Structure 1
Amino acid sequence: MLLTIDVGNTNVVFALVKEGDIVARWRIATDPRRTADEYAVWLHQLLELEGFARSDVDTVAIGTVVPRALHNLDVLAQKYFGVKPLVAGQGAASWPIMLDVPEPQSVGADRVLNAMAAHALHPGDLIVIDFGTATTFDVIDYDGAYKGGIIAPGINLSLDALVAAAAKLPRIAIAAPADDSLVGRTTETQMLIGVYWGYVAMIEGLVQRLKAEIGRPVKVIATGGLAILFDKHTGAFDAIEPDLTIQGLAQIAAGARA
């Protein structure tokens, strides 16, 4: 089986992929100081709880936007799974798509993996929106080439900055407002309206502008944990694909085996 490791700025997501299907997944807070031994103890217990053993894993594929975390994950793969990991964008796991931007080396691995997976699932021109620590909008043309995109603060990051900068504002949880009114009656509801509907407006406005610039029919694909939350209140998305990054890592592994 394939073990994929998606290292984001906030969480590391581990997933087991068997014959193209995700059969288990776990997440842990990103900490570049976490050692291979710590990962191994945590992961071994979770594998057993799901009925798997370390010996079931014969391939490890890593995609990371946190370079400092890579060394300990490389040690994890070699010491505890007995395999040299595939690192997305390097060596046998080099990108199979064109990065049509001036500085291709600066594009985050997660964004390229999302582009690969989205193109495999949906033909034609695409906009992929990933709701993570940052919210990214990526443009992929009908040939599958990555053309560039937009980076905006993630909604939780925006809310954290607001609370940190304003002494009297309370910390609130991100959720859809109870109704469609834009007139908040309490501080908490005013904050929620500003953050949530402000974010919906940003999504819709940027998608509209991107579509106008591309000038051809475009399908919008959303991914990331908060995509479903926004899908309830906007018609901007054509499809929700929650596992694009994992699917991209699976493609990388399949290509390296071929």
Structure 2
Amino acid sequence: MILVLDAGNTNIVLGIFKNDKLIVECRIGTDAKRTADEYGIQVLKLFSYNKINPSDIQGVIISSVVPNIMYSIEHMIRKYFNLKPVVVGPGVKTGINIKYDNPKFVGADRVVNAVAAHEIYKKPLVIIDFGTATTFCAVTKKGDYLGGTICPGIKISADALFEKAAKLPRIELVKPKHIICRNTVSSMQAGIVFGYIGQVDYIVSKMKEEMIEQGSEEPFVVATGGLAKLIAKDSKTIDEVNPFLTLKGLKVIYEKNKE
């Protein structure tokens, strides 16, 4: 079995693969104040709940966009699993040719998503990841990572509205039935959700234009992340939601580097 960890600003997502099948997926909160032992206890509890024996884990791979938790996470893996993890970063084989001005500055999660989508779809791609930030990435059919766009995430946008406007409440992120709303909560929900759908469709349309101008076929658009389904239902540009894209990418990268 292989343990994969994707450490984001809000959550650390853990997956366990048995051969090529994802058999466990779970989340714990990201907290820079936690020690390796605190993370270890949490992870072992999740293993126990899912009836997984830690000694069955043969390898571990980590991607992270939160540098200040990496010592605790890596130390936890060494102490509780007696394994040296693969950490996605410079020097790790991905099979992706990064065309960024400085490849070191591409977030590990964006690279991992690109690896997974390229492996799965074998076509030009726009990849959208709805995380704490929302990222849009362009990848060619042959696996060139062209770059992309980064936007504030949906929850960040909603929280900013609540925190900066004194009379506006904190809201649940759901799609209202109408865009002409008759109460404050529904009006905020409409603005956030429908506004974000419009933002996504505009950015994707412009990215498609640029890729086609550069000689690409029309790209396939895949979305992942916690709120991908909410936006994809009304988006005119998202072709597919793949909720486990990042975990699958980590497994692919692990296989390329396990030697």
TM-score normalised per structure 2:
0.95
CA distance in 2, matches of 1:47, 1:35: 19
Post-superposition Cα deviations, 1:187-221, rounded to whole Å, max 9, x if no partner, equal 11111111111001101111111111111311000
Q: How much does 1:25 deviate?
A: 1.8
Fraction of identical pairs, as percent: 40
2:159 maps to: 160
1:56 maps to: 56
1:39 maps to: 39
Match of 2:33, SS state, is coil
CA distance in 2, matches of 1:41, 1:207: 42
Q: Choose the corresponding residue for 2:183, options 186, 200, 204.
A: 186
CA distance in 2, matches of 1:16, 1:52: 9
1:212 aligns with 2:209: yes
CA distance in 2, matches of 1:245, 1:88: 12
1:134 maps to: 133
CA distance in 2, matches of 1:122, 1:43: 32
Aligned partners of 2:115 and 2:253 also within 8 Å:
no
CA distance in 2, matches of 1:43, 1:60: 13
Aligned partners of 1:2 and 1:59 also within 8 Å:
yes
Post-superposition Cα deviations, 1:51-107, rounded to whole Å, max 9, x if no partner, equal 11110111110000011111111111111101111001244x343311111111110
CA distance in 2, matches of 1:136, 1:220: 13
Question: Stretches of 4+ moved more than 6 A in 1?
Answer: none
Aligned partners of 1:204 and 1:236 also within 8 Å:
yes
Match of 1:242, SS state, is coil
2:242 maps to: 241
CA distance in 1, matches of 2:258, 2:171: 47
Aligned partners of 2:123 and 2:219 also within 8 Å:
yes
Aligned partners of 1:99 and 1:145 also within 8 Å:
yes
Letter matched to residue 168 of structure 1: K
Match of 1:89, SS state, is coil
Aligned partners of 2:90 and 2:104 also within 8 Å:
no
CA distance in 2, matches of 1:252, 1:76: 21
**Unpaired runs of at least 5, structure 2:** none
2:174 maps to: 175
**Does 228-237 or 182-191 show the bigger shift?**
228-237
Aligned partners of 2:89 and 2:104 also within 8 Å:
no
Aligned partners of 1:6 and 1:64 also within 8 Å:
yes
Aligned length: 255
1:99 maps to: 98
User: Following superposition of structure 1 onto structure 2, how do residues 9-28 of structure 1 map, counting pairs within 5 Å?
Assistant: 9-28=9-28
Match of 1:69, SS state, is helix
CA distance in 1, matches of 2:68, 2:160: 25
**Unpaired runs of at least 5, structure 1:** none
Aligned partners of 2:138 and 2:145 also within 8 Å:
yes
2:228 maps to: 227
Aligned partners of 1:89 and 1:95 also within 8 Å:
no
Match of 1:42, SS state, is helix
Match of 2:97, SS state, is coil
Q: How much does 1:15 deviate?
A: 1.1
